[in-house]
Amino acid sequence: MEVYRRDTRGRSLLLMLVVTSLVLVTLDSGNNGLVNTLRAQAHNVISPIQSLVDDAFSPLRNVSNGITKYSAVRDENARLRRQIADLHGQQLRSRGVGSAVGQLEKLLDLPTVQGVTGIAARVTGGSPGNFDRTVQINKGSSKGIKVGYPVVTGDGLVGKVTQVSSGQATVTLIDSPTIGVGVRLETSSVDAITQARAGDRQLTLGVLSDTGAKVQKGELLFTSAVRNSAFPPDEPVGKVVSSTKSVGALAPTITISTLVDLSNLDFIKVLRWPDPTATPSGG
Amino acid sequence: MVNRRIRLVLVVISLVVLQTTVFTHLRVFGAVPDLTLVATIAMAYEEGPMAGAVFGFAAGLSTDLFLSTPLGLSALAFALTAYGVGLFQSGLIRESRGIASVLGGVGGIVGNAIFLIVGGIAGHGELVSVHNIQVVIVASLYDALVAVAVFPFVRWAVRDADTGRTRPQR
């Protein structure tokens, strides 16, 4: 009898834990302010320790990279030199097109990336979990970073800030299935939205504005110039790897690779967008 | 009793710190171990299903604070896994070498599977994918490896200071 009572109490407690968890999951799915505050506080507590560990690991990581990637780095250097020469030529050729786009953006009163200021930060680590594509950066709300700010490197778009505490922030990468970026293809001028799948470093394009357009391999993609967009316009995102249309399909399957190596981030820049007039409160 | 609780809080805090700092740099084939899940399994093994479930809920909630997946998802997965492991071990398992790794690995698969399934049902369909199943398998092997260190840590936390005994009388 006693055993039975104890077991019933145990099951009631387990049921209570399950119900509490489900309530929390539901609350957080609705982007609850209390949950966000709790998360920010937890990050605040752990942030100094995280910085210490990152500093301790940094030399080890550099040595290990130097040993294992020496030959790859040398080849990459040569490839990048060739690429710089090619890009210089391309830049000159596209100057004319760029000026026309700029004039049109002014005519339509669209915001541009030129006026956006940024906050440089260092990536301190990846996600502590197995199922999210995020990185931690070493600057947070004390430096003016807010949730929703886009994150870039010199090569292009990286992602956006999804959590922020005073000393650090979490950036969700553009190859996370939870993020879709509105993009415009360079020459075919098709508008689309990027779609990511878990574990796949390449993205596909969905919601194409023109399903019949001829999309070229190697064509670049930029963020769309749309009012109230989450990302500033004309930021490079990726390039087309393949475009195939299977028989009977309404739209082609366009696969793209990101311009930024998202698995190897070191320094990034957080753009004060869509709040470009915000004054910096730190570095 | 108070000392024991303090030690258990210390276990959770130190494992969460390790998980969010050191192990973010030690990813193997895209996977990291779930230190707090392994500690939860150890707790269920040492103390039975209910103590394991309560500890798992607390440990999971602490871990959830640092993930971008919904808060409460790890708490639920860890609590249910601990309850299952606790029931299983009370009926079947006897002390043996390698039990920490076996339970760590199997518990890792079960805990992560619950996490993905409940997450998928709760509106995060992106969690249910072939890639994530691969990640679960690699992570569970990693869990089996770290269990060798995590189980003694939890055993130290739950031991009775006077008798030195860890397993409760059933």
pLDDT-based confidence at residue A150 (cuts at 50, 70, 90): very high
Chain B, 9-28: which have a CB under 8 Å from a chain A CB? 16-17, 19-25, 27
pLDDT at A74: 76
pLDDT at A6: 57
The whole-number average pLDDT for the span B72-81 is 95
The beta strand positions in chain A, using DSSP E, are: 118-126, 134-137, 150-153, 156-164, 169-173, 182-185, 191-195, 203-206, 220-223, 236-244, 253-258, 267-271
ipTM of the complex: 0.86
pLDDT at B169: 40
pLDDT at B53: 95
The nearest CA of chain A is from the CA of B156 a distance in Å of 24
Percent of chain A scoring above 70 in pLDDT:
80
User: Which residue of chain A comes nearest to B136, CA vs CA?
Assistant: A130
pLDDT tens digits, A5-53: 556 777 889 999 999 999 998 888 767 778 888 888 888 888 888 778 7
With contacts defined as CB-CB under 8 Å, which chain B residues touch A18? Answer: 76, 79-80
pLDDT at B148: 95
Q: Pick the more confident residue, A227 or B109.
A: B109
User: Which residue of chain A comes nearest to B57, CA vs CA?
Assistant: A17
- pTM, rounded to two decimals: 0.81
Which residues, listed in sequence order, are joined to residue A152 by a DSSP beta bridge? A157, A269
The nearest CA of chain B is from the CA of A131 a distance in Å of 7
Of B66, B71, B76, the CB nearest to A128: B66
Q: Using the beta-carbon criterion (under 8 Å), do A197 and B34 form an inter-chain contact? A: no
A127 has pLDDT over 60: yes
B50 has pLDDT over 80: yes
Q: Using the beta-carbon criterion (under 8 Å), do B76 and A25 form an inter-chain contact? A: yes
The whole-number average pLDDT for the span B23-48 is 92
A69 has pLDDT over 70: no
Q: Using the beta-carbon criterion (under 8 Å), do B76 and A18 form an inter-chain contact? A: yes
> Residue A147 in contact with residue A170, Cβ under 8 Å?
no
Highest mean pLDDT of the ranges A74-88, A198-212, B20-34 = B20-34
Q: Pick the more confident residue, B163 or A151.
A: A151
pLDDT tens digits, B91-124: 665 667 788 999 999 999 999 999 999 999 988 8
SS3 sequence of chain B: CHHHHHHHHHHHHHHHHHHHCHHHHCCECCECCCHHHHHHHHHHHHHCHHHHHHHHHHHHHHHHCCCCCCCCHHHHHHHHHHHHHHHHHHHCCCCCCCHHHHHHHHHHHHHHHHHHHHHHHCCCHHHCCHHHHHHHHHHHHHHHHHHHHHHHHHHHHHCCCCCCCCCCCC
pLDDT at A190: 85
pLDDT-based confidence at residue A208 (cuts at 50, 70, 90): confident
pLDDT at A16: 94
